[in-house]
């Protein structure tokens, strides 16, 4: 039996995992399960691992990757996706992450190259200013940086170190963390085969530190077929009381949300809302789907990143019928015919 078939059989026929000191055997049967049994299955099923995906990636064909992604989707979203014939919004995001091949996406997934793409489309001054790019962690020279700055690795979200006072920072900790984040399996691709990231090479860079409002608001413009369908406004996302507001391009509140973070209605939309829409749609024009993220600092908008696999495709839309409604709006038929 080959490696591929071994993995497929383990996932399809059942497998055991450790929970504390107990082993649980998962047997996938055809008979109907109760809601409690489904919940127990989703709590104990396939566990994904970046390093597993990295070491086996060359031996996994698309059918196995699709099974792995589908297991994660079922765990997070609650239904088993049909990636070959996608109908819902979430299913179509999975298809795009597996099959949609656009060189611009590969550029935009790289947080350094993304800045160049934004400048080409919008002109200079619309991304957080780049201070330094490093080929080694030992090239980081605090004397060449301002007192406050941010250090990042370009190929995944969350690999950030915010330095507010360089006089009270540990350069060895910084170097250790940044170099660890450049280990090859930390590429976002290996999380769940986010195609656009695979060709990205690790780069460490320094950005200007932005003073944000309190509470901070981040704009996340979801663009479908080149037009902003809705904007998610993250309010105090990393604070103690995160909230979310959702509005369409006309400033009307939309009747759905992602996940369980409380949804609120704003007294008025930010002054830069219309400008943000115009910028997002220019950047989104070449793509069937993209989320364009913005920060606002001292009244100015900065593009933070372009996200093509929001939530890795595992976000939960509520009410659930909106997964189907938005899926009908997201047209990827021409890409499916052409194979990506």
Q: What are the tens digits of pLDDT across the range 158-168? A: 899 999 999 99
> Does residue 105 fall inside a structural domain?
no
Instruction: List residues bridging with 307 in a β-sheet.
Output: 291
Q: What is the rounded CA–CA span in Å between residue 165 and residue 99?
A: 44
Would you state the structure tokens that stand for residue 122, as one six-digit string? 């919008």
> Does residue 87 fall inside a structural domain?
no
Q: Are residues 217 and 288 in the same domain?
A: yes
> Does residue 170 fall inside a structural domain?
yes
> Does residue 192 fall inside a structural domain?
yes
- pLDDT single digits (tens) 18-65: 333 333 343 444 445 566 665 665 555 677 788 989 999 999 998 999
Of 188, 208, 228, the position where a domain reaches its end is: 208
Region of residue 170 (left: phi > 0; alpha: psi -120 to 50; beta: else): beta
Q: Are residues 249 and 306 in the same domain?
A: yes
Instruction: List residues bridging with 243 in a β-sheet.
Output: 235
CA-closest candidate to residue 49, choices 41, 40, 57:
57
Q: What is the rounded CA–CA span in Å between residue 284 and residue 278?
A: 10
> Does residue 298 fall inside a structural domain?
yes
- Residue 237: the pLDDT is 74
Q: Are residues 153 and 224 in the same domain?
A: no
Q: Are residues 45 and 151 in the same domain?
A: no
Q: Are residues 333 and 217 in the same domain?
A: yes
Query: If you count them, how many residues does the chain have?
Result: 340
The CATH code of the domain that includes 275 is 3.30.470
Q: Which residue has the tokens 């409380």?
A: 262
DSSP for residue 314: T
- Residue 214: the pLDDT is 73
> Does residue 112 fall inside a structural domain?
no
> Does residue 111 fall inside a structural domain?
no
Of 187, 208, 229, the position where a domain reaches its end is: 208
Instruction: List residues bridging with 149 in a β-sheet.
Output: 163, 208
- Whether residue 16 is predicted with pLDDT greater than 50 in this model: the reply is no
- pLDDT single digits (tens) 185-213: 999 999 999 999 999 999 999 999 998 87
Q: Are residues 254 and 329 in the same domain?
A: yes
Q: Average pLDDT, stretch 218-233?
A: 97
> Does residue 168 fall inside a structural domain?
yes
Q: Are residues 314 and 233 in the same domain?
A: yes
Residue numbers of the domain that contains 244: 212-337
Q: Tell me how far CA of residue 141 lies from CA of 82, 173, 333, in angstroms.
A: 50, 14, 50
Q: Are residues 25 and 37 in the same domain?
A: yes
Contact 196, 109 (CB under 8 A): yes
Of 162, 178, 208, the position where a domain reaches its end is: 208
């Amino acid at each position: 039996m080959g490696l591929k078939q071994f993995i497929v059989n383990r996932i399809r026929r059942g497998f055991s995992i450790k929970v504390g000191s107990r082993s649980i055997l998962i047997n996938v049967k055809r008979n109907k399960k109760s809601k409690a049994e489904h919940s127990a299955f989703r709590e104990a099923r396939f566990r994904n691992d970046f390093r597993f995906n990295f070491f086996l990636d060359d031996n996994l064909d698309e059918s196995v990757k699709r099974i792995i992604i589908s297991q994660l989707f079922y765990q997070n979203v609650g239904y088993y996706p049909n990636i070959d014939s996608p109908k819902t919004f979430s299913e179509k995001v999975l298809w795009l992450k597996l099959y949609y091949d656009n060189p611009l996406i590969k550029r935009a997934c790289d947080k350094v190259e993304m800045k160049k793409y934004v400048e080409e489309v919008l002109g200079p001054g619309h991304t957080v200013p780049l201070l330094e790019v490093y080929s080694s962690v030992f090239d980081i020279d605090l004397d060449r940086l301002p007192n406050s700055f941010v250090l990042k690795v370009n190929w995944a979200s969350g690999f950030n170190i915010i330095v507010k006072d360089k006089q009270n920072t540990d350069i060895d900790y910084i170097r250790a963390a940044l170099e660890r984040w450049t280990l090859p399996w930390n590429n976002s691709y290996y999380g769940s085969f986010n195609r656009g990231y695979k060709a990205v090479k690790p780069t460490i860079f320094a950005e200007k530190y932005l003073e944000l409002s309190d509470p901070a608001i981040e704009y996340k413009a979801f663009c479908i077929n080149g037009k902003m369908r809705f904007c998610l406004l993250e309010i105090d996302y990393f604070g103690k009381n995160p909230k979310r507001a959702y509005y369409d391009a006309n400033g009307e509140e939309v009747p759905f949300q992602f996940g369980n973070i409380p949804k609120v209605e704003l007294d008025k939309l930010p002054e830069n809302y219309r400008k943000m829409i115009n910028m997002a749609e220019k950047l989104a024009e070449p793509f069937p789907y993209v989320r364009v993220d913005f920060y606002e600092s001292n009244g100015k908008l900065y593009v933070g990143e372009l996200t093509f696999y929001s939530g890795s495709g595992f976000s939960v839309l509520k009410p659930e019928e909106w997964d189907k409604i938005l899926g009908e709006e997201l047209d990827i038929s021409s890409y499916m015919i052409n194979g990506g």
